Amino acid sequence: MNPSHDQNRTLLHIEQRRSIRSFTDEPVSEEHLLTILRAANQAPSAHNQQSWKFVVIRGDRKKELAALVNARAADFPKPAAVLLRMAARSINSAPVVIVVANTGELIGHGTDLFRIEKERALDFFQTMEIQSSAAAIQNLLIAATSLGLATVWLGILFLMKDEVLRFMGEEQGEFMAVIPVGYASKAGKAPKKIDFGMMVKWLD
């Protein structure tokens, strides 16, 4: 652990965050939920458009989502099917699931504003929306960690994104992520990370 993390709680929580795929039955308080959603909404976003939507799923609706994912898993070849079934188990075990979608508002707004060709504008603003929502998701994950909550970013549901969007009533949006939130049933094992020095190139 980096010694500066003793003083700096933000760095500590960034380091402590783990993907957790199995949760206890302990509910997540409304206060904690609002705190992590607020943290997500504080993220930087292209043109400050906040082109994200968070759908909070609990109770029977959450069970329905898990059942939907489990049922659809059978339509995919083995590796994807296994990951989808794992995702369904995580959704089932977590007390809350937050689904993130991009609204597409930046695409409409930016295309008019920048007056560049439609095809290039679509590619540009779609990418900016994805990057903005990714920043919001990371804020949410770090905020959750700081409150002792566990999370996992499930991207595999992209394979059935139309059904997920329909389930949420957000058909006009673009799928970003499904995030089960709860308390870890056991401590997450830290995966081996390539040292950051390998990822950095210095040009002086």
Which burial class, exposed, middle or buried, applies to 4 when counting CB atoms under 10 A from its CB (0-12, 13-18, 19+)?
A: exposed
Helix axes 118-146, 9-16, angle to 10 degrees: 100
Where does this chain touch ligand FMN (CB under 6 A) — which range of 5-13, 82-90, 91-99, 167-175? 82-90
CB of 72 to ligand FMN, least distance (A): 14
Residue count at the site for ligand FMN (CB under 6 A)?
Answer: 13
Other beta carbons within 10 angstroms of residue 40's beta carbon come to 25
Secondary structure element (H or E) that encloses residue 41, with its range: helix 30-41
Return the residue of 11, 13, 16, 19 that touches ligand FMN, per CB under 6 A: 19
Report how many helices (DSSP H) and strands (DSSP E) the chain contains, helices first. Answer: 7, 4
**Which residue stretch of 16-24, 114-122, 123-131, 159-167 sits at the interface with ligand FMN (rule: CB under 6 A)?**
16-24
User: Is 110 or 151 the residue whose CB approaches ligand FMN more closely?
Assistant: 151
With respect to ligand FMN, which residue has the nearer C-beta, 44 or 155? 155
User: Minimal distance in Å, beta carbon 23 to ligand FMN?
Assistant: 13
Report whether 185 contacts 93 (CB < 8 A): yes
77 vs 191, beta carbon nearer ligand FMN: 191
Q: What is the DSSP string of 5-37?
A: GGT-HHHHHHHH--B---B-SPPPPHHHHHHHH
Nearest-approach distance from CB 157 to ligand FMN, in angstroms: 7
Least Å distance, CB 188 to ligand FMN, is 6
CA angle 115, 118, 124 (to 5 degrees): 85
Binders of ligand FMN among residues 126 to 185 (CB under 6 A) are 152-156
Nearer to ligand FMN (CB atom), residue 37 or residue 86: 86
Measure Cα distances from 163 to 71, 80, 95, 180 in Å.
Answer: 12, 16, 21, 18
45/110 with CB nearer ligand FMN:
45
Contact 161/171 with Cβ under 8 angstroms?
no
- Interface with ligand FMN, residue 18, by CB under 6 A: yes
Rule CB under 6 A: is residue 27 a binding residue for ligand FMN?
A: no
Amino acid at site 56: V
Q: Which residues bind ligand FMN (CB under 6 A)?
A: 18-19, 21, 83, 86-87, 152-156, 188, 191
